[in-house]
Homo-oligomer: A and B are copies of this chain.
Amino acid sequence: MKGKSFKEQERQILEDIILHRRTELGDNFIDREIPNVVLERLLWSALQGPSVGFSQPWEFVIIRDQSIKEKIKACFEIENEKARKIFSDKPSYNRLNLEAINITPINIAVFYKPSSTPILGQTSMNKMGVYSVCLAVQNLWLMARAENLAISWVSLLDENKVKDILHAPAENELVAYLCIGYVKEFTELPQLEIANWEKRKRKEEVIYYNSYNHPQ
Contact = CB atoms under 8 A, between A and B. Distances in A.
B141 A135 contact: yes
A155 interface: yes
Interface residues of A, number: 109
Given A122-B155, A124-B155, A65 B2 contact: no
Contact of A124 (B2, B19, B142, B158): B158
The 6 closest A-B pairs by CB, nearest first: A3-B186, A134-B134, A138-B138, A2-B185, A54-B192, A11-B146
Interface of A: 1-6, 10-11, 13-21, 23, 41, 43-45, 47-50, 52-56, 58-65, 68, 79, 82-83, 86-87, 93, 96, 98, 113, 118, 120-125, 127-128, 130-131, 134-135, 137-139, 141-143, 145-148, 153, 155-159, 165-169, 174-176, 182-188, 190, 192-193, 197-198, 200-201, 203, 206-213
